[in-house]
Structure 1
Amino acid sequence: MSELISRSNNTINFIERKASSSAFRKLYAEGMGLVEETAAYLDGEGRAEAKKLGRVAATLYAAESMRLTTRLMQIASWLLLQRALNSGEMNREQMMVEKKKIRLDTSSAKLTAAGWNELPEAFRLLVNRSLRLQAYVCRLDQDLFGEPQETDRAPVRNDNPVGSQIELLRTAFAAR
């Protein structure tokens, strides 16, 4: 409790309290649940649905799948670090060193990208849920630690259609 009170002005730090409360446990469960749900979808129903897609949509699906899994792994890493800090397994300095390896800025294709509307609805919902969760974790991270990572930027969709296509091509050719 004494950690929650700032010595300089004797105020309660509600953000730190939230990060170690039942609200965090709920966030942790939501994040890890989304990781599991996404993995099950991509290995099962998503794989079958992807085979039915046209060439453009299939390429977009492959690129978005990589972004989705990257985004969720980064969120899971952040949640695990915060849990380790809360439980005393790591001190703040150790956690901050590890936190620097996490990127909470994985973007997604624009909703108007070629092939987006052809993607399976269940997949699009997973992408949208992951983006909302990433945005929430980014805000919480900023509130807790105050200093944005060098790469921190709002985890929103790419509003540049050319940039979106270039990123799609870069992702597709990088996988080969």
Structure 2
Amino acid sequence: MSKLLERSNTINFIERKASSAAFKKLYADGMGLVEETAAYLDGDGRTAAKQLGRVAATLYAAESMRLTTRLMQIASWLLLQRALNSGEMSREQMMSEKQKIRLDTSSAKADVVGWNELPDPFKLLVTRSLRLQTYVHRLDRDLFSEDETVDEEYASDENPVGSQLELLRTAFAHR
């Protein structure tokens, strides 16, 4: 049986998740974090930044740019996935646009000079954005990776679940 036919007979839980209520919650949480961050940076964050020392203020400015860039990349990914789910874009269009998105923006380490002087609400926004980025990046990889090593891993004799799945595939392939 060809790999294509095998794949068409399997349930792709990742794709189902991407178009489920769980995705709607992820979308709402992601966009909510974007709005919350914008409100903080324009309000309390602006006030708090004016009270920082020179090193911490420079770090705050750099980290604010990383934070907003990270959140805009996540928001772009969420919007593309929503457009795909609703049929507004074809998979090919979405994949073309997705090439422009980076889900690997970094952040300063907590031990960098000046980090402890940053406002706690700001550090929490950075942490939450990094967690969200990690989750979205993993979901993106699971949804759109062309790598077939996952199938090989599950079919391995060393993996007891994989060997059971292979037995099921074999048993139902001849029916």
Please indicate the TM-score interval, normalised by the length of the shorter structure.
0.7 to 0.9
- Whole-angstrom CA distance in 2 between matches of 1:7 and 1:138: 28
Instruction: Map 1:35-74 onto structure 2 (within 5 A).
Output: 35-74=34-73
The Cα offsets for residues 42-84 of structure 1, whole Å up to 9 and x where unpaired, read as: 0000000000000000000000000000000000000000000
Aligned to 1:136: 135
Number of positions where the alignment pairs a residue of Structure 1 with one of Structure 2: 143
Q: What runs of 5+ residues in structure 2 fail to find an aligned partner?
A: 148-175
- Whole-angstrom CA distance in 2 between matches of 1:11 and 1:103: 30
Aligned to 2:10: 11
Instruction: Look at both structures and tell me which one has the larger radius of gyration over its CA atoms.
Output: 2
SS in 2 for 1:52: coil
1:124 to 2:123 alignment: yes
Aligned to 1:82: 81
Measured after TM superposition, the shift of residue 11 of structure 1 is: 1.1
Measured after TM superposition, the shift of residue 8 of structure 1 is: 2.2
Q: Identity of aligned pairs, percent?
A: 81
- Whole-angstrom CA distance in 1 between matches of 2:146 and 2:77: 15
The Cα offsets for residues 107-134 of structure 1, whole Å up to 9 and x where unpaired, read as: 0001100000000000000000000000
Q: What RMSD, in angstroms, separates the aligned Cα atoms of the two structures?
A: 1.2
The one-letter amino acid of 2:26's match is: L
Measured after TM superposition, the shift of residue 7 of structure 1 is: 3.7
Aligned to 2:94: 95
